[in-house]
Amino acid sequence: MTQQQNPQNLQNQQTFPHSQPYDQSQHPYGRGQQPFVQAPQVPLRGTTDPRDMSLPLYTATFWQAIARFFRGYFKFSGRASIREFWWAQLGILIANAVLWLLMLPLYLNVLLYFVDAIFDYESYYDPYHSTSAEYFFAFLALFFTPKFLIMGFISSLFGIALLLPTLALSWRRLQDANFHGAFSLLKFIPGGDLAVLIMAALPAKPEGQRFDKLPAGGGSQHPAPNTPSPSYPAPGYVGPQPTPQPPAAPQYMQPPVQQDPPQQQ
In a domain, residue 107? The reply is: yes
DSSP-H helix ranges across the chain: 7-15, 62-71, 82-118, 121-125, 131-142, 146-176, 192-200
In a domain, residue 62? The reply is: yes
* Residue 94 and residue 65 in contact, taking contact as beta carbons nearer than 8 Å: no
What pLDDT does residue 42 have?
Answer: 62
Q: What is the pLDDT of residues 6-38, one digit of tens each?
A: 555 545 455 544 555 544 444 445 454 555 555
In a domain, residue 231? The reply is: no
In a domain, residue 259? The reply is: no
In a domain, residue 234? The reply is: no
Q: Is 45 helix (H, G, I), strand (E, B) or coil?
A: strand
- Rounded Cα distance between 168 and 86, Å, is 14
User: Which residues does 242 contact at the CB level (< 8 Å), separation at least 6?
Assistant: 33, 34
What pLDDT does residue 217 have?
Answer: 52
In a domain, residue 229? The reply is: no
- Rounded Cα distance between 222 and 55, Å, is 9
What total number of domains does the chain contain? 1
Region of 84 on the Ramachandran plot (φ > 0 left; ψ -120 to 50 alpha; else beta): alpha
What pLDDT does residue 34 have?
Answer: 53
In a domain, residue 46? The reply is: no
Q: Does the pLDDT at position 89 exceed 60?
A: yes
Range(s) of the domain holding residue 99 = 54-218
The dihedral through the CA atoms of 44, 45, 48, 49 has a sign that is negative
- Rounded Cα distance between 167 and 196, Å, is 11
